[in-house]
Structure 1
Amino acid sequence: MTEPVTGDPVPAGVLRPHAEQEYAGELARLAEHDDRPRPPGWRLSPWAVTTYLLGGELPGGTVITPKYVGRRRLMEVAVATLATDRALLLLGVPGTAKTWVAEHLAAAISGDSTLLVQGTAGTAEEAIRYGWNYARLLAEGPSEKALVESPLMRAMRLGSVARIEELTRMPSDVQDALITVLSEKTLPVPELSTEVQARKGFTVIATANDRDRGVNELSSALRRRFNTVVLPLPDTVEDEVDIVARRVDRIGASLELPQAPAGLEEIRRVVTVFRELRSGLTSDGRTKLKSPSATLGTAEAISVITSGLALAAHFGDGVLRAADVAGGIVGAVVQDPVSDRVVWQEYLEAVVRDRPEWRDFYRACREVS
């Protein structure tokens, strides 16, 4: 089997390349071998998009690395939704790779993942529809030149994928600005007595979760405009360890951190701790646990391991050890200094202390706790 193909060189100094930059080589190879029907405006067929997400081997031995580790059917449903006139809502608890999947879907379908609206409590309607260059507006009045396109409007003009992150964090009236766009595929501009009609290939991928505070429920009218795919947490420890190891390897390479020879053992330990605490049960099913208020998803495990790698690289011998991840894991678990600290101490004394192979981890956590 050949090595995974690499893309064109990313511009020097870029900390976090877009998916279409980092995986340009894989996307190009898929396009070369893709002889299946493509929906209007798509760069790849639905089969090729799914292969890009889940990984595989092309004729000639080219390896496509997996971007998402999980159930194939979920990705097939998501891709099939985007091949229709329906928008896609990726729903799940924090840390289930919603943003990651949305970015790679946009990169594979339209070659551009940057048409992004970030939802917050302060997101204004202009972020969904359009705004104005007020200097030109005052000088010239309403005109095409004074109009400032939103990422959504630009995606409609280009026939591309628009992404909306954290849709449920937006105020309800801002959310509802999407209804006309998603149902009529037009965006009226009454000030200019015109409208923007979406070109073939336009679609919307939104992400949302209902665990965070400040969530605004979607109206029934808006929810009907989306097909919803719920992304679950990884099914097994092995799946989650694989995800964390792959992402940490990528992040470590971009940060130019030395590789950690013993990293896999610590990754498995961090993943096990997070899975046990969020499920409220030890992996052997014998001990019930209290769960902390923190979200202990895969994204948090990646953050803990990456921070540990930085400690090992700059203040240790380059080998990831228990002492390097202890501080990060305590910080991730103990978000509420009162209730979460009690949960963590009980877990440490009732579970970690009784595992002989975790003695170094127990000592390290005791020191930072």
Structure 2
Amino acid sequence: MSDEMTGLPVLRAHAEEAFAGELAALAKWDDRPRPPSWRLSPWAVAVYLLGGELPDGTLVSPKYVGPRRIVEVAVATLATDRALLLVGVPGTAKTWVSEHLAAAVSGDSTLLVQGTAGTGEESLRYGWNYARLLAEGPSRAALVPSPVLRAMAQGKLARIEELTRIPADVQDSLITVLSEKTLPIPELSGETQAVRGFNLIATANDRDRGIHELSSALRRRFSTVVLPLPATLDEEVEIVSRRVGQLGRALELPELPGGAQEIRRVVTVFRELRDGLTADGRTRVRTPSGTLSTAEAISVVTNGLALAAHFGDGVLRAADVAVGVHGAVVRDLAADRAVWRDYLEGVLRDRDGWQDFYRAARDCTD
């Protein structure tokens, strides 16, 4: 994929571009009823996210590894008049699932609002081209629609990332949109009514600082789906392996020997520190201040691949990932450094087959 303006290859293609072949193959074989304006049926959207094999042998890669029912509930919600709220701790693939849902349903995942403490109502409703406004007065031509307004007009899905980071009074500007399916534009004495197929996906987490709780009126307009952390070590290793492979190809990093072993080690460390308990259930450990999410594990391993490829011997080794693990764990120097040292000395020092990782981690710590 290349940027339309420069013609240069992009670092990360949108989901509907990166998986265009799978979406086209699903559309070809999809003979089930489709809600208005949907590119695929709810059944085919679920197959796109969870993976499967089509009658012609086409393999659809899984985009989400987790309980099937979670995906089914999310897709079914979007086929109703209720918006979808994806909730989970950081790193539980909320953004990833949101993007792929929009790609499969609307063929367009770009109608996106990134929530921050500085997000204003114009980001959720509309703004103005002030040059035209001053020259011509209020008009449709001077109006700058938000992604939400564009989705309403086109019958597509809009996405709002980190809804709870948006100030509460700005959040509530969505109430009329979600309840009445219309957005009043009093400056033009008019409104924009949502075309059938419009809906909204929002993501939120309750772990980070600086969040604003949703009002009860707004929360009632959403069906909430909680995305859990991966249930098992093998499941999380599979997720990390797949995403690292995708990122490695996008970054043109070579596939290196040793990847499977080091991925399992990183995930094991993250899970044990996250759970406060070793995998065998025998030793309790203190938990650090960070979330140690699956997304962070993916970043640690990808960075390790870059180190091994450009500054190592072409094999992913413990030293390549240990520095990233140390950085992910030790966020608060005063508290987390002691947690990390206790874990190294109390758990990893005598663990069979982990001596190289232990030494590399100690070198980062000392």
CA distance in 2: counterparts of 1:135 and 1:10, whole angstroms: 32
Pick the aligned partner of 2:92 from 96, 99, 115.
96
Structure 1 match to 2:343:
347
- Is 1:223 the equivalent of 2:229? no
Q: Which residue of 2 aligns with 1:79?
A: 75
User: Residue 163 of structure 1 corresponds to which residue in structure 2?
Assistant: 159
For 1:310, what is the secondary structure of its paired residue?
A: helix
Match of 2:361 in 1: 365
**TM, length-normalised to structure 1:** 0.97
What is the identity, as a one-letter code, of the residue corresponding to 1:106? A
Check whether the contact 1:42–1:109 (CA below 8 A) recurs between aligned residues. yes
Cross-structure match for 1:332: 328
Shift of 1:151: 0.2
User: In the TM superposition, what are the counterparts of 1:143-158 in structure 2 within 5 Å?
Assistant: 143-158=139-154
Name the TM-score, length of structure 2 as normaliser.
Answer: 0.98
Query: After TM superposition, what 4+ stretches of structure 1 lie above 6 angstroms from structure 2?
Result: none
Q: Does 1:287 align with 2:283?
A: yes
How far did 1:318 drift? 1.5
Q: Does residue 109 of structure 1 match 2:105?
A: yes
Gaps of 5+ in 2: none
SS at match of 1:195: strand
For 1:141, the aligned partner's letter is G
Q: Which amino acid aligns with 1:79?
A: V
Partner of 2:196: 200
Match of 1:3 in 2: none
Secondary structure in 1 aligned to 2:95?
Answer: helix
Secondary structure of 1:367's match? helix
SS of alignment partner, residue 177 of structure 1: helix
8 Å contact from structure 1 (residues 10, 21) kept in 2 = no
Q: Distance in 1 between matches of 2:46 and 2:182?
A: 29
Alignment of 1:175-186 (within 5 A): 175-186=171-182
In 2, the alpha carbon distance for the partners of 1:340 and 1:102 equals: 32
Equivalent residue letter for 2:116: T
Find 2:297's aligned residue among 297, 301, 304: 301
Distance 1:179 1:15 in 2: 36
Please show how residues 250-261 of structure 1 align to structure 2 within 5 Å. 250-261=246-257
Counterpart in the other structure of 1:21: 17
Cα deviation digits, residues 74-133 of structure 1 (max 9, x gap) = 000000000101100000000100000000000000000000000000101100000011
Determine the C-alpha separation between the residues in 2 that align with 1:235 and 1:226: 26
| Residue identity in the other structure for 1:316 | G
Partner of 2:210: 214
Separation in 2, partners of 1:111, 1:284: 45
**1:31 touches 1:44 (CA, 8 Å); kept in 2?**
yes
SS at match of 2:315: coil
Q: In the alignment, what sits opposite 2:49? A: 53
Q: Is 2:19 the counterpart of 1:33?
A: no
Shift of 1:10: 5.7
Equivalent positions of 1:233-272 (< 5 A) are 233-272=229-268
Structure 1: distance between partners of 2:149 and 2:88:
27
Equivalent pairs counted in the alignment come to 361
Partner of 2:273: helix, strand, or coil? Answer: helix
Q: Say yes or no: does 1:138 pair with 2:152.
A: no
SS in 1 for 2:349: helix
| Cα distance between partner residues in 2 of 1:111 and 1:82 | 14
Q: How far does residue 13 in structure 1 lie from its aligned partner after superposition?
A: 1.3
Aligned CA-pair RMSD: 0.7
Aligned to 1:119: 115
